[in-house]
Amino acid sequence: MFENLLSLTVWTPIVAGILVLATGGDQRAPLARWIALAGALAGLAVSLPLYTGFDNLNGGMQFVEMKPWIDALNIHYHLGVDGISMLFIILNSFTTLMVVAAGWQVIEKRVAQYMAAFLIMSGLINGAFAALDAILFYVFFEGMLIPMYLIIGVWGGPRRVYASIKFFLYTLLGSLLMLVAFIYLYFQAGKSFDIMAFHDLKIALSTQVLLFIAFFLSFAVKVPMWPVHTWLPDAHVEAPTGGSMVLAAITLKIGAYGFLRFALPILPDASRELAPFIVALSLIAVVYIGLVALVQTDMKKLVAYSSISHMGFVTLGLFMFTGSHLNQWAVEGALVQMVSHGFVSAAMFFCIGVMYDRVHSRNIADYGGVVNKMPIFAAFMMLFAMANSGLPATSGFVGEFMVIMGAVQVNFWFAFAAASTLIFGAAYTLWMYKRVIFGDVGNDHVAEMKDVNKREFLILAILAITVLGMGLFPQAFVSKMHLAVNDLIAHVAQSKL
């Protein structure tokens, strides 16, 4: 039954998306919603066997599928996952379900198209995580831009056109260079786009550096790393709630995943040489962006900046070299941070969405004393705010803790700068929480707010259980990634000169 599992995770949501589109106009919106929900559930259902059927003792690619696609160029439909990518496919399928539920009543116009965009994007993202052929990866990687572009551009806020074009151009610019790099590697590998074949290529250092820069520009924009991050706050602010959830939870992860799958194993020597540069940018992201987040007046911008700061931990962890060895703590910490941030940021954006639906404002100053009217909501948001501040027993702690522990082993000052997030992260998150949630009822709009309905409660509760579960039992998924990370570290340790 596992033969075509990965194909199912890719195509189930896409087919469901097309079915949803087929329902047509808004007069059949309820039908579109239910089909979308069924599709998202089916998408999650077919991705869960990846976890249960995963062989912890097998370090290689699992659930592999390979069929010729474009013979002339030796391009294959080649899918497979290791303990790293498997987790992201599940995270993505899960997030899609949350997003479909989150947009249930909130989206009233072009419902079918909205739901379809998310479902199709979900399939494309799963494809990007599963692809083992560079061109296939490129197609999925670029393809998922289109639904996101539409989501922001059609269902977004007042400056949606500026934001969507900025998002599109920013990310497209980087990925074109990646395509050039792929074509170079194709010829080096004897006319093959097999990513695993790329991993074994011998490449001169100067070439490695050039290729690294190409990959870097592509992935750094996605992560996003400082200073190519400015598209993210704009995109988040304009995107509808669901768009922000996917953007933060999944899209950013593709960038970090790219470093992991391409830059590090294909170009280990260049990665090592340029690691100080990446580390510097990551630490700037943690500290600089942490301070920027502090002074935001727009809740979504604040959480967007907080995402950039948290992703700084990811890129920091991925490039913690001692000699030629990556630090295992830091790499696994980066991966945990990616998954955890997926849940926490999605939850934070959903919380903001819940308030936005009631008051139609993202400004912190327009709120105050929400807890008086929405105590259940406030309790949930407290949990997510604490997770965002990295409180132990929530998922937010595990990744940050592991990266900091790894960084101390490499260089005390890396850890010192990174650990400052303990203070800044708490400061910006809880200061926002204080101004929005605590206090006496701030104004008439807040006075009219109603506590969460059943649908919102369910979404919040599922996210809360996940965040707590990951914080208390991280072993459940960290054990899946050990072998893949060990392989990566061993692979990166070998020079390819």
Q: Is residue 293 part of the contact set for other proteins (CB under 8 A)?
A: yes
Q: Is residue 415 part of the contact set for other proteins (CB under 8 A)?
A: yes
Instruction: Name which position in 188, 431, 457, 487 contacts other proteins (CB under 8 A).
Output: 431
Q: Is residue 267 part of the contact set for other proteins (CB under 8 A)?
A: no
Site track for other proteins across 315-344, x = CB under 8 A: -------------xx--x------------
In angstroms, give the least distance from the CB of 486 to other proteins: 9
Check if the beta carbon of residue 206 is closer than 8 Å to that of residue 198. Answer: no
- Residue 108 per-residue DSSP state: -
In angstroms, give the least distance from the CB of 479 to other proteins: 7
Instruction: List, as one string, the DSSP characters of 348-411.
Output: HHHHHHHHHHHH---BGGG---HHHH-HHHHHHHHHHHHHHTT-TTSHHHHHHHHHHHHHHHH-
Q: How far apart are CA 454 and CA 451, in angstroms?
A: 10
Q: Is residue 393 part of the contact set for other proteins (CB under 8 A)?
A: yes
CA distances from 124 to 29, 92, 309, 382, 473 (A): 24, 10, 26, 33, 30
Stretch that binds other proteins, among 14-22, 59-67, 253-261, 474-482 (CB under 8 A): 474-482
Q: Is residue 2 part of the contact set for other proteins (CB under 8 A)?
A: no
In angstroms, give the least distance from the CB of 415 to other proteins: 5
Residues in the interface with other proteins (CB under 8 A) total 58
Q: How far apart are CA 420 and CA 282, in angstroms?
A: 13
Report CA dihedral (382, 383, 389, 395) to the nearest 10 degrees. Answer: -170
Q: How far apart are CA 265 and CA 459, in angstroms?
A: 38
Facing residues of 66 across strands?
Answer: 78
Site track for other proteins across 434-453, x = CB under 8 A: x--xxxx-------------
φ/ψ of residue 66, rounded to 5 = -145, 120
Nearer to other proteins, 250 or 289 (CB): 289
Q: Is residue 84 part of the contact set for other proteins (CB under 8 A)?
A: no
The string over 339-364, giving b where at least 16 C-beta atoms fall within 10 Å of a residue's C-beta and e elsewhere, is bbbbbbbbbbbbbbbbbbebbeebeb
Check if the beta carbon of residue 60 is closer than 8 Å to that of residue 97. Answer: no
Q: Is residue 422 part of the contact set for other proteins (CB under 8 A)?
A: yes
Stretch that binds other proteins, among 92-100, 213-221, 290-298, 446-454 (CB under 8 A): 290-298
Q: Is residue 30 part of the contact set for other proteins (CB under 8 A)?
A: no
Stretch that binds other proteins, among 53-61, 96-104, 140-148, 395-403 (CB under 8 A): 395-403
Q: How far apart are CA 403 and CA 279, in angstroms?
A: 12
CA distances from 172 to 182, 323, 483 (A): 15, 34, 33
Q: Is residue 408 part of the contact set for other proteins (CB under 8 A)?
A: yes
Instruction: Name which position in 420, 468, 469, 487 contacts other proteins (CB under 8 A).
Output: 420
Binding site for other proteins (CB under 8 A): 166, 170, 227, 230-231, 288-289, 291-296, 328-329, 332, 369, 371-372, 382, 386, 391-393, 397-398, 401-402, 404-405, 407-409, 412-413, 415-416, 419-420, 422-424, 426-427, 430-431, 434, 437-440, 472-475, 478-479, 482
